[in-house]
Chains A and B, each alone.
Chain A
């Protein structure tokens, strides 16, 4: 499923800041890390600030710090600040026509929306950070990545030609 750009930006910022709540980062620093617009991110961070998810400090050396409870704040809490989900989505946006096809389609779409909302509601920021750590631990490093194919070809060539 797709989320709106602002929602993605918000999740990146929340996860980055929650990973080290004592650390303060500027919108530019976060935007550079994720390759996103600092201007757009700053707007998103203001929304997060008003919701109490982040604290901001102005001026030189200022920035944003995570202010929420990572064990209580869920992905759904963050997403809902930027777009409707679940039943809320069906109330906003385009409504299907009030005929058999429209009502049947709404039934199916509502089912997928409810599944999505239940998934996001069940994953806290703390759990997301654990998932991120597990993914990082299981990803190959430069040292363990398999050598490129040309090294194999080099090996094959020396076996074919012989080294003496």
Chain B
């Protein structure tokens, strides 16, 4: 909890400093609160994912929460965006080191925002909060991987400034 609170505070400070350079002083922004996921959030996350994908995966999300949320293991982050008393979105990431020959870097492997709550900056805030966690953990790069035909999420990450990295994903059938 302390790890997230510190990195979220750092990221918020960086974000506000960046905005202060471009905007006149203004009242604090409305919008969902970004915080670590709690056990009671898992049901909402399952429902949100089912709403988007059409598949209910309760065991999958419960397992992810136990591995990335509840244990608070260093370098693992499971954040939610809470607004108007409900979960508007979530993001999960982890610092990984030396996989595929890569020095430690932050990996985002899940992000989702409630469809009716999109286009309000929630995804951006979740992304920036996760980047703050990675910076605090001492890494200088963030990566992700997604399906080539997932135009929506690809566009989102591109709009945050991400570009293609130096790795190529390969696969083959085992039949």
Contacts and interface: CB of A to CB of B under 8 A. Distances in A.
Interface of A: 74, 114-115, 118-119, 121-124, 126-127, 130, 134
15 contacts: A74-B155, A114-B148, A118-B149, A119-B164, A122-B151, A122-B154, A122-B155, A123-B155, A123-B158, A124-B155, A124-B158, A124-B159, A130-B159, A130-B161, A134-B161
A127 B158 CA distance: 7
Chain A contact residues: helix, strand, loop or mixed: helix
A126 B154 CA distance: 14
Interface residues of B, number: 9
Contacts of B148: 114-115, 118
A127 B155 contact: yes
Nearest to B119: A71
Interface of B: 148-149, 151, 154-155, 158-159, 161, 164
A115 B154 CA distance: 12
B118 to A, nearest CB: 12
A104 to B, nearest CB: 15
A123 B157 CA distance: 10
B151 to A, nearest CB: 5
A121 B151 contact: yes
Considering residues A74, A121, A123, A127, which has the most beta carbons from chain B within 10 angstroms of its beta carbon?
A127
B92 to A, nearest CB: 21
A115 B148 CA distance: 7
Contacts of B161: 130, 134
